[in-house]
Structure 1
Amino acid sequence: MNISLDDLHLFVLTVQHGGISAAAKQHSLQRSKVSRRLQELEKTLGCQLLIRTTRQIELTENGRLLYQQVSQPLTEVTQAAKLLSNQQKSLQGVLRVAVPAALITSNMFSLLIDKYLGQFPDVLLEVLHCQESVDLKRENIDIQILPDGVKVQNEDYVQQTLLRFPSSLVASKEYLQSHQPITELSELVAHPLMVSRYNQASLPDTLTLRLCSDDLRLIQHMATTGKGIALLPSILLKDALKSGELTAILVNEKLPEIKLTLIYPSKQFLPEKTRALITLLRDTFKLT
């Protein structure tokens, strides 16, 4: 026996509103459709549920028994559905975002988070330090940002490319003054290099790596204190270059870029708090 939950719901609504016309009007349905579905329900169950009169309806004994058994569970299901719908539409609750350490330490990301929290004070934002792709649905994570080259676990997830970040080679003035001028990339073989693992693979194997870290701020600090030459995203270096704390070298050399990818499970079932952060990311990082 295949009983339609929709038909059961219409039956409960008809009883609650005291008639087919009232139930249809209250829920913007056609009276003929409600009447037809109730007849189908009676046919499926093999018994009469309602005694129809001109002005109202009456329950048969079978109708009263069915209503007593199904009215509360169906009402609870409806309330649960409304609760979930409201939660999807609300700008509150927990939003979990997984990002690599390189992004966590950037001023741009900090300003973005500050702006989001200011706009949506009822959202609890959980920022997780994560270097590898995770199964967002299983880990209950709403958004992940990953650097280029990291394989995404689930190819069905939505993937959008963020603005590409060009890189610069930098060192302190003191370091450069104590060494011969560097005029071409091959001359870096005589210098200790400090890189992130995101751009390490793009460098020639002949170069000597002194430090490889996911923490870009650490790499910048080591360059500032004269420990060698650093390859860093240009966007992180604006203040240090402006103040003279660091100096760019080989500025005309084509250097590797860091590309970030925004990942989330689905466009169709996107809570408003998640959509709001994606929009902010789009505005900040110029999604393509």
Structure 2
Amino acid sequence: MNISMDDLHLFVLTVQHGGISAAAKQQSLQRSKVSRRLQELEKSLGCQLLIRTTRKIELTENGRLLYQQINQPLTGVAQAAKLLSNQQKSVQGVLRVAVPAALITSNMFALLLEKYLEQFADVQLEVLHCQESIDLKRQNVDIQILPDGVKVQNEDYVQQTLLRFPSSLVASQQYLQSHPNITELSELTHHPLMVSRYNQASLPDNLTLRLCSDDLRLIQHMATTGKGVALLPTILVKDALKSGELSQVLVNGPLPEIKLTLIYPSKQFLPEKTRALITLLRDSFTENNIS
């Protein structure tokens, strides 16, 4: 790790004067040069310090930590730099993950987090319930998982498709025995449907919706208790279908898929704790591992 004290000084000036341009003016330097040296400092430390916008700069959590340490006597500067570098390389600390309610309630996701915690005992996981895209940097969240169709707030963030989950129409045997047969999609008009907002748009408009929820477990419960026909990811109802608790409707019909997207701020400044969970997500959310 080779840290330039001049670059640290420019970082302090940038924070104190509220921007790169002001710091450059104070030092009689070109703005581009100051910006480049700040990037070099970030590269040396292995983490992002500043969020740059057209009008101002903001400190990341790492940037605030460094600035607080630099305000101490100069002997603490090297310790602050070492602290940040070690923090990025070690698999420890707090890891914040934002996921939709549908994923929080799935056994598959719970088992994945359980596996992560078993492997990395020094990491504290914080799982946040988020239905919409958030600004990961400003809200200090490391990873977000969103279904397809939800617009990502910051297009500069890394976005990777994890897997397409096929859906099934399901109902209880009790319900199917007491209602008209369903042999084609158009006949669903005679049945109350229960869907999530992620697959609602893919169905015909003339269908009767009994329930629309982000909680897929709630939809499955309603189907199991005979309240109607539910459209759910096949992986979620696999055990219920096997046990006979639910039965599949329109097995060969064209049904929508739910695609999960993995989102994180940057490939360049990726702490090892974050990289480890991303690797586990990629390895786990594949056709071979969830079949």
TM-score interval, smaller chain: 0.7 to 0.9
Aligned residue for 1:45?
Answer: none
Unmatched runs of 5 consecutive residues or more in structure 2? 10-71
Matched, 1:253 2:245: no
Mapping 1:3-42, distance limit 5 Å: 5=5
Aligned residue for 2:212?
Answer: 212
Name the amino acid aligned to 1:166: P
Cα deviations by residue, 1:91-110 (Å, 9 ceiling, x for unpaired): 11000000000101111101
Matched, 1:180 2:180: yes
Name the amino acid aligned to 2:192: P
Mark the CA change 1:76 to 1:152 in structure 2 (over 3 Å): closer, same or farther. Answer: same
In 1: Cα distance, 2:226 partner to 2:73 partner: 70
Aligned residue for 1:140?
Answer: 140
1:74: Cα distance to partner? Answer: 4.1
Cα deviations by residue, 1:143-182 (Å, 9 ceiling, x for unpaired): 0000100000000000000110000000000000001211
Mark the CA change 1:80 to 1:8 in structure 2 (over 3 Å): closer, same or farther. Answer: closer
Mark the CA change 1:210 to 1:88 in structure 2 (over 3 Å): closer, same or farther. Answer: same
Name the amino acid aligned to 2:242: K
In 2: Cα distance, 1:279 partner to 1:75 partner: 38
In 1: Cα distance, 2:180 partner to 2:130 partner: 40
Unmatched runs of 5 consecutive residues or more in structure 1? 10-71
What secondary structure is seen at the aligned counterpart in 2 of 1:163? strand
Cα deviations by residue, 1:113-172 (Å, 9 ceiling, x for unpaired): 110011111100000000000000000000000010000000000000011000000000
Cα deviations by residue, 1:57-95 (Å, 9 ceiling, x for unpaired): xxxxxxxxxxxxxxx944321111110000001111000
Mapping 1:136-285, distance limit 5 Å: 136-285=136-285
Pairwise CA RMSD of aligned residues? 2.0
Mark the CA change 1:105 to 1:257 in structure 2 (over 3 Å): closer, same or farther. Answer: same
In 1: Cα distance, 2:158 partner to 2:8 partner: 37
In 2: Cα distance, 1:270 partner to 1:7 partner: 22
Aligned residue for 2:128?
Answer: 128
1:5: Cα distance to partner? Answer: 3.3
Larger radius of gyration between Structure 1 and Structure 2 = 1
Name the amino acid aligned to 2:100: P
Name the amino acid aligned to 2:140: N
Aligned residue for 1:54?
Answer: none
Name the amino acid aligned to 1:80: A
* TM-score, with length taken from structure 1: 0.75
Aligned residue for 1:114?
Answer: 114
In 1: Cα distance, 2:90 partner to 2:134 partner: 26
Name the amino acid aligned to 2:180: Q
